[in-house]
Amino acid sequence: MAVTARAADRPGTLADALVVRSLARDAALVLGTALFTAALAQVEIRLAFTPVPITGQTLAFLLSGAALGGRRGALSQILYVLMGTVGLPFFAGGAHGLEVLLGASGGYLVGGVVCAYAVGRLAEHGFDRRALTALGAMAVGEVCVYGPGLVNLARFVPAGHLLVDGLIPFIPGDVLKMLIAAGLLPLAWRVVGRRPRPGAA
């Protein structure tokens, strides 16, 4: 969908609208967003019938891509996964280590990288500036999370249980996360639209 001429004149992502780009600032944004993901991962609900917990990570996946764009969003999630894998207690419930990445939830972590990239690329084309298109971008991101997540989970649960263990219980929460993200982003752009562009005289 085409964006308005006013929107097209703005920087491609929220991060670009707020700060002048540099290598140091990009690195700080990537690190900060990885830490944000780690914080939301601690919002955890365990279900007795599935090895995959409900967490706040998906919201972080969506927002990281939308705020930073495809490449930086994906890098933030790669960094998040690396930090958790090497031993920092950043995965759901403070878990860490390679066994998490290789376990039942590992596919969802990989999907988070894909999600951030896909949502970020859509945001770079203005999909995050209107509620309806932002919601569409978030839906694409959710598919990107569940695709690798379910493929990997199929190694750990019986085929007949795959959707019950890895998809259906998570739908209400993820719909809420999509609505939160799709509501926050256009609102943030309206606020940004009242500010001078970074570096402007």
Domain holding 62, by residue range, is 5-191
Domain contains 198: no
Domain contains 35: yes
Average pLDDT of 9-16?
77
The two counts, helices (H) then strands (E), for the chain are: 10, 2
pLDDT at 196: 53
- Closest to 88 in 3D by CA, of 37, 147, 149, 12: 37
Q: What confidence tens digit (pLDDT) does each residue in 34-64 have?
A: 999 999 999 999 999 999 999 999 999 999 9
Domain contains 122: yes
The Cα–Cα gap between 151 and 115 comes to 15
Mean of the per-residue pLDDT values of the chain: 91
Q: What confidence tens digit (pLDDT) does each residue in 169-197 have?
A: 999 999 999 999 999 999 999 998 755 55
Domain contains 73: yes
Q: Specify the CATH number for the domain of residue 29.
A: 1.10.1760.20
Domain contains 196: no
Give me Rg for the CA atoms of the chain. Answer: 17
Q: What domain count does the chain have?
A: 1
pLDDT at 81: 98
Return all residues near 156 (Cβ < 8 A) that are at least 6 apart: 51, 103, 104
Q: How confident is the model at residue 201 (pLDDT cuts 50, 70, 90)?
A: very low
